[in-house]
Amino acid sequence: MKVAAVQHDVVWENRAATLARLEPQLAAAAGAGARLVVLTEMFPTGFSMAPERTAEPEGGPSTEFLRTQAGELGVWLAGSVPVRPDGGGRPVNRFLLAGPGGELEHYDKIHPFSYSGEHEHYAAGTRRVTFEVEGVRLTPFVCYDLRFADEFWAMAAGTDCYVVVANWPAARRAHWQALLAARAIENQAYVVGVNRVGEGGGLHYAGDSRIVDPLGEVLAGGAGGETILLADVDPDVVAATRKRYPFLADRRPSPGPAGQDG
């Protein structure tokens, strides 16, 4: 399956302007043959800590944008959106996956970024998920989740490709690049990491989006400008890698503290 990582800028807290900018980029990705097209974290507004201005109801305008574009372009389309759940409570940072036939799946970010106060404005998700898209098993995560290896380990056996959408600041770009490669290597799976570029909320974003193969090789990488990265994700390569190097089978639970069982 050909995947497109759309490394794009965002018009800060301006949904309509950002969506208008994205339409031709999505069309270009689909025109290049991508079956899965991935946008960034909080792609309509930027990583805003003002959900009273940016959060949408379930089925809101950004969700409908994804569904409409997916249907019109005949692709799977993903990215995260600040969403106010129907059941009430605080908004969530929600990864959405829209399909060409009207499908809609979601994952809520498990680890709000406390360093920026995200945990004060957005509720944490409570479940990991895996979706199958055209024969590829995809497990989504959002930005700060990337720092928590155990979340990825827990899903490795049933995952061919992790998709990580982000607004990861340039000040910590080395961490982003290293962790994307590490998650691919230690789980023997593809990792598609899609990060924004430009300025927003007083921060600079350098992009550095990556599509990494199960051995940690970068199949496609972006620098600091808007670009579309394309690479093929093949479950057979994942299976062959794990058969040749059966490292996952050797993974064991961590031992308890000294002198304790478990």
Residues with a catalytic annotation lie at: 41, 109, 143
**Quick count: other Cβ atoms within 10 Å of Cβ 254?**
6
- Written in H, E and C, the secondary structure of 135-191 is CEEEEEEEHHHHHCHHHHHHHHHHCCEEEEEECCCHHHHHHHHHHHHHHHHHHCCEE
Is there a contact between 128 and 104 (Cβ–Cβ < 8 Å)? no
- The number of C-alpha atoms within 13 Å of 222 and in the hemisphere containing its C-beta is 26
CA distance 111 to 119: 8
Is there a contact between 134 and 91 (Cβ–Cβ < 8 Å)? no
In 1-145 the beta strands, taken as DSSP E runs, fall at 2-7, 36-38, 56-57, 76-84, 92-98, 104-108, 131-133, 136-142
Q: Which residue, 60, 57, 118, 122, is CA-closest to 90?
A: 122
